[in-house]
Amino acid sequence: MSRDTIHSCSRCGFRSGQWHGQCPACGEWNTLVEEARPRASGERARGRTGSTKHAGGRARPAPRPLREIGAAAAQRLSTGIGELDRVLGGGLVPGSLVLLGGSPGIGKSTLTNMALGHLARAGGRTLYVSGEESAEQVRLRAERLGPGALAVPILAETDLETVLEALAAEAPQACVIDSVQTLGAAELAGAPGSVGQVREVAAQIMELAKARAIAVILVGHVTKDGALAGPRVLEHLVDCVLQFEGERERPYRELRALKNRFGSTNEAGLFEMRQGGLVEVLDASARFVAEATRAPGSAVLAAMEGSRPLLVEVQALVAPSELEQPRRVVSGLDRNRLALVLAILHRHGRVATGGADVFVNVVGGVRVDEPGCDLAVALAVASASRAVPLSGTPRACFGELGLTGELRWVGHPERRLREAAKHGCREVIAPPGSGPGACEAQTLAQALALALPARAGRPHAVA
Ligand code: TYD
Ligand code: MG
């Protein structure tokens, strides 16, 4: 343990010179993390940013009314990747920190390398810091990404101090740190990637980035269960948190903003991993509708991806289970939502799946995180359970299910309907109030009657 470090509780903030398994202040276990000892005031500011103005006999700053604050519209840097710019809220903001999370192999290095490549090609100063791969490895990737990517200067380094010196000397407009878990401050004893290290690395880079107006993208790994393990502690510190998701075996990748100080967190961008890197998918609805199987268990959902409508196929499989607790497997949806929809289906739709394994998948590895998906899940499960395709296809649906079996209004019905019409879904089952063009159903039972007319003498089968 070095003299320059202290241990502080990540829960209550208690500080101690030595490590404790249990925090003496709040009693929580394993919350003490090693951090750099806070430096004397002014020391840090003088250190690298070169501003000595306030050191020593520092004048008390006077608060000013907001209207007197000059809000110079930040000149955003376009990354040349439309979907990335849109999710960022219009490009990178100088002096800001973006945390890009995603599981290994999803394409974080590819995306950031391409973004810097475009910037470099447009005459911007860039720097790619790789703590994970050697310069040769990064070059091999860049070769696949075209001439722009090869123009990006690289520094393969894991020592924080060296990286900060390079940043100060090069003064790039945009910089990528790949990844934040591989850099380490020598004065901290913890291994790179530990909570204390990750926090210190980000804090020091932020200080420099703000002073020099460098737009920084910190790449962070997430664990298998989706948590930004170390980097999660950075979420409050950075300006923007982007999550790159998708299944490694499938080509589609989705980029969403979980936090954004300079834009909306509703936006999502869709990419496809190809031989020459990531390609923006601009006609996603057309593809998903064309690929929809229309077999029993398939339903087309008119979803909203932020402010953009997207048609996706929801597939369900219902099969007799041999387990005492049947399986409920979802991909691209919230697991609890499925449990809720199954309960409503049972109670208000007379579709019982209690003794069956139920699998639900949003095709293409896309994630739909909105209440409007309920009806599509219910119809897909009912259709699978009865082994009958939904009638009247091409047809789409959307709507939230209430606990009493009613179909509830969801946002932007007109955009959903327009998108469905554009891609040949002439009939759209939707909640009341959705407007002209919708085939409105008041309840789940009505929606089921529309989509799966019961054959005479054959009630909704129970799996
Ligand atoms: P990478 O950007 O290295 O992922 P991350 O930094 O998130 O760990 O991308 C890894 C995968 O992408 C790898 O399996 C190879 C694939 N890939 C392509 O299919 N095409 C390409 O042009 C590139 C560069 C990578
Ligand atoms: Mg990588």
Same domain for 88 and 158: yes
Residue with the smallest CA separation from ligand 1 atom 22 is: 277
Q: Are residues 322 and 211 in the same domain?
A: no
Q: In ligand 1, which atom is closest to the CA atom of 248?
A: 14
- Vertex 215: Cα angle to 214 and 218 (nearest 5): 115
Q: State the CATH number of the domain containing residue 292.
A: 3.30.230.10
Report pLDDT for 434: 95
pLDDT higher than threshold 70 for residue 229? no
Mean pLDDT of the 184-210 span: 89
CATH number of the domain at 276, please.
3.40.50.300
Å from CA of 451 to ligand 1 middle = 41
State the residue for tokens 């041999």. 322
Same domain (yes/no): 273, 327: no
Q: Give the HSE-up count for residue 244: Cα atoms under 13 Å, Cβ half-sphere.
A: 30
Could you say which DSSP state residue 372 is in? G
Encoding tokens for residue 189? 């004893």
444 contacts: CB under 8 Å, gap ≥ 6: 344, 345, 348, 349, 375, 378, 401, 405, 406, 407
Nearest residue (by CA) to ligand 1, atom 11, is 105
The closest alpha carbon to 384, from 274, 297, 258, belongs to 297
pLDDT value for 439: 94
Tell me, what's the pLDDT at 456?
44
Predicted structure pTM score: 0.78
- The answer to whether position 68 is within a domain reads no
Element (H, E) at 163: helix 160-170
Q: Is residue 66 part of a domain?
A: no
- The answer to whether the CB of 102 is under 6 A from ligand 1 is yes
**Per this entry, what is the length of the chain?**
463
User: What pLDDT was estimated at residue 73?
Assistant: 65
Position 139 pLDDT exceeds 50 = yes
Percent of the chain exceeding pLDDT 70 equals 89
- State both tokens at 169: 């000397």
Distance between start and end Cα atoms, the chain: 62
Give the integer Cα–Cα distance in Å for 407 and 418.
20
Strands annotated E in 306-458: 308-320, 328-331, 356-362, 395-397, 400-401, 407-408, 427-430, 439-440
Q: Is 134 helix (H, G, I), strand (E, B) or coil?
A: coil
Ligand nearest to the CA of 112: 1
Task: Check whether 302 has a pLDDT greater than 90.
Answer: yes
Q: Which of 355, 366, 363 is nearest to 380 (CA)?
A: 363
Does the beta carbon of 108 lie inside 6 Å of ligand 1? Answer: yes
Stretch 346-359: mean pLDDT, rounded? 95
Other beta carbons within 10 angstroms of residue 382's beta carbon come to 28
To test the pocket of ligand 1, the residue of 110, 150, 253 to mutate (highest count of ligand atoms within 8 Å of its CB) is 110
**130 Rama sector, left if φ>0, alpha if ψ -120 to 50, beta otherwise:** beta
Helix (H) or strand (E) holding 186: none
Contact in structure between 408 and 402 (CB atoms under 8 Å) = yes
What pLDDT score was predicted for residue 448? Answer: 96
- Total number of domains in the chain: 3
CA of 110 to the centre of ligand 1 (A): 6
User: 41 — phi, psi (to 5°)?
Assistant: -60, 140
Same domain, yes or no: 205 and 290: no
Query: Does 26 lie in the same domain as 1?
Result: yes
Give the pLDDT confidence of 237-257 residue by residue, as tens digits.
Answer: 899 999 998 877 778 899 989
Query: What pLDDT shows up at residue 351?
Result: 95
Q: Which of 108-122, 328-342, 419-433, 446-460 has the lowest mean pLDDT?
A: 446-460
Q: Are residues 324 and 242 in the same domain?
A: no
Identify the residue whose C-alpha is closest to ligand 1 atom 9.
Answer: 107
Confirm or reject: Cβ of 276 under 6 Å from ligand 1.
yes
Nearest CA to ligand 1 atom 14: 105
Chain-centre distance for alpha carbon 182: 21
Q: Which ligand is nearest to the CA of 182?
A: 2
What average pLDDT does range 283-293 have in this prediction?
89
Say whether both 269 and 295 belong to one domain.
no
Question: Do 311 and 396 form a contact (C-beta atoms < 8 A)?
Answer: yes
Least confident of 93-97, 113-117, 145-149, 355-359: 145-149
Secondary element (H or E) of residue 86: helix 82-88
455 vs 198, 350, 388, 449, 459, CA distance in Å? 62, 15, 11, 10, 7
Q: Is residue 226 part of a domain?
A: yes
Task: Determine if ligand 1 sits within 6 Å of the CB of residue 277.
Answer: yes
Q: Which of 256, 281, 306 is the last residue of a domain?
A: 281
**Residue 384: both structure tokens together:** 């699978």
pLDDT at residue 191, rounded to an integer: 83
Of the candidate ranges 23-37, 99-113, 150-164, 200-214, the one whose mean pLDDT is the lowest: 23-37
Q: Say whether both 245 and 317 belong to one domain.
A: no
Instruction: Tell me the CA–centroid distance for residue 461 and ligand 1, in Å.
Output: 46
Q: Across residues 173-195, what is the average pLDDT?
A: 89
From 273, 275, 279, 280, give the residue whose CB has the most ligand 1 atoms within 8 Å, as the site to mutate.
273
* Dihedral sign, Cα of residue 379, residue 430, residue 288, residue 245: negative
The pLDDT of residue 227: 53
Which one of the ligands is nearest to 133 CA?
2
User: Using the 8-state DSSP alphabet, how is residue 232 labeled?
Assistant: G
Ligand 1 atom closest to residue 102's alpha carbon, by position in its atom list: 7
What is the amino acid identity at position 461?
A
Q: Give the mean model confidence (pLDDT) for residues 33-62.
A: 60
Protein residue whose Cα sits closest to atom 1 of ligand 1? 107
Is 44 a domain residue? Answer: no
Give the E-state strand segments of 195-239 in sequence order.
Answer: 215-221
Between 150-164, 218-232, 399-413, the lowest mean confidence (pLDDT) is in: 218-232
Collapsing DSSP states into helix, strand and coil, what is residue 231? helix
pLDDT for res 367:
85
List the structure tokens of 264: 């909306």
CA of 131 to the centre of ligand 2 (A): 10
Ligand 2 centroid, distance to 104 Cα (angstroms): 7
Residues 120 and 246 in one domain: yes
Under 8 Å CB-to-CB from 388, ≥6 apart: which residues? 296, 452
Q: Which pLDDT belongs to residue 56?
A: 52
Q: Would you say the CB of residue 107 lies under 6 angstroms from ligand 1?
A: yes
138 lies in some domain: yes
Which uninterrupted H or E stretch holds 155? strand 154-156
Kindly report which listed range (126-135, 248-257, 313-322, 335-344) carries the lowest average pLDDT score: 248-257
Co-location of 242 and 304 in the same domain: no
Q: Cβ(447) to ligand 1 under 6 A?
A: no
Boundary residue ending a domain (230, 255, 281) = 281
* Token pair of 451 as six digits: 């989509």
Across 340-356, average pLDDT: 95
Domain limit, last residue, from 230, 256, 281: 281
Q: How far is the CA of 25 from the centre of ligand 2 (A)?
A: 39
Residue 265 clears pLDDT 70, i.e. is over it: yes
Tell whether ligand 1 has an atom less than 6 A from the beta carbon of residue 104: yes
Mean pLDDT of the chain: 87
CATH number, domain at 32? 2.20.28
Q: Which residues pair with 28 in a beta bridge?
A: none
Name the amino acid, one letter, at 76.
R
- With 50 as the cut, is the pLDDT of residue 225 above it? yes
Among 68-82, 250-264, 419-433, 439-453, the minimum mean pLDDT is found in 68-82
Whether ligand 1 lies within 6 angstroms of the CB of 250 is answered as no
26 lies in which domain range?
Answer: 1-39
Query: Do residue 291 and residue 384 come from a single domain?
Result: yes
Torsion angle, CA of 189/194/197/201, rounded to 10 degrees? 150
pLDDT of amino acid 233: 76
Residue 141 lies in a domain: yes
Comparing 238-247, 344-353, 394-403, the range with the smallest average pLDDT is 238-247
The residue among 107, 130, 110 whose CA lies nearest residue 118 is 110
Q: How far is the CA of 305 from the centre of ligand 2 (A)?
A: 26
The verdict on 195 and 257 lying in the same domain is yes
CA-based angle 152:157:163, to the nearest 5?
A: 80
